[in-house]
Each structure stands twice: as structure tokens, then as C-alpha cells.
Structure 1
């Protein structure tokens, strides 16, 4: 992200100023994104492309941009958010179970070591008797 920011110039923007890095991150995350930012990123990402090669990319991006401006995709509904929360809860339960299995494995190994030591002591005592 910082490399992209360093390559941007004031000429890329309508306001003739490169946004701060933090603001650029927000813009690229969709917070107040403007077309000049899209063009600037395309220019920086494909610096060696001729205008003939760059033009179709920008036309495709512009079509997506226009469609997003006229009929944006709605945010995820409540049902999708609920499913996402359930998935995260299941992930958390899986992690907890895995951690419990690790604790049980450690306890089992300690028990086996104790049993083996007890067997060695018993063998030694029988040999002495």
C-alpha cells in the first residue's frame, strides 16, 4: 500500500493533492471512493502499458463503476449476517475443542509417564524382594 502511495502524484487527482496514506486506505476500502482514484491506481499499476492496452481496462472499470453508482449491490441481509455469526461461533467452538484435546493429550502423556515410572519401581521392588 505504501508503494502505491509513493507512486501517486498530484496530477492523478482532481484536487491536485495526493491523499494521505490512511485516507487512501479508506478510499480503496470504498469509503468515498472517486473515479480519479480508480484511474490513478490503474495508471500506477500499469505504468508501461500503452494507451491502447490501458483503454479497455479503464472502459471495463468504468462500466463497473457506472453500474455500482446507478444500482449498487445491497449490503448483506440479516440472514446472511446471522449465518456468518454462526460460522464464527462454530469456529470458536472448534478451537476450544482442539485446545481441550491438547490438554487431554498432555494429561494422558503425563499419566503414561507416571504409570511407566510406577512399573519400574514395582519391578525394582520385586527384584529386591
Structure 2
């Protein structure tokens, strides 16, 4: 059976209940998409936990070299890596008992999604978390 993202209503619920978002592949370069998306999510009240082995802090938060190094619970693992690199990240998301495994826009890997869903995580692929949150949880500024 082909992968299907959760319904928009369910994605809305997942975002509304999330607090900590670990961003794998978060760049410390403000011109990179990962940085812009994470900064936007942070400004909307989410706690961003950077996962980048080459930086010490990003967006004022301590960076961790891998998901397994994060010392607190993670609700969403948001991934900015190439599709051919995400299978081990899916397994690590399972290992840390994250609730959601989210592959950003243009990232699709059926095996990674299957690893996540088989372990009880919600899997979302080829969707931008910032766009989904803005559409599903509009806020007045």
C-alpha cells in the first residue's frame, strides 16, 4: 500500500500538541531554508532543538550531534536531509520515542516512513512544517 500523509485535520492536531521540534540538518546559515523555517517555527512558540554536529548553538539553542544526544523528550523530528540519508534518522527517531517523523518539502523515502509508522510514529513526507503550521494554526500577530 502506498504511503499517504495524515489528514490535514490530524496534522493540525499533531502540531497543536507539539512543543519540542528537533530539526535534523538545521544550518547555522540564516540564508538556508532550514534556518528560515526553524526560526519561523521558533517565533510561533515551538521549542527548536538543533541537530547539527558542526555547530554549538543555532537560534540561541544548544546543538546536538544526533537525535540520541538530546537529553529531553522530542515531539517532532523535522528532517532537512537528502532522501537517501533519512533511513537511519527514522530509526533514531523511533529509538528516542519521538511522536512524529517529518520529512520536509521534496523529501520522500518510503522505507524511512515505514520504519517510523511500524514503530507507532506518525510520518509526514514532502510537506513544509512552517507552511502547514501557518495554514492550520493561523495566529494574529
* TM-score after normalising by structure 2: 0.23
Query: Which one has a larger percent helix, Structure 1 or Structure 2?
Result: 1
Query: Which one has a larger percent strand, Structure 1 or Structure 2?
Result: 2
* TM-score after normalising by structure 1: 0.24
Between 1 and 2, higher relative CO (CA 8 Å, sep ≥ 6) is seen in: 2
Structure showing greater radius of gyration is 1
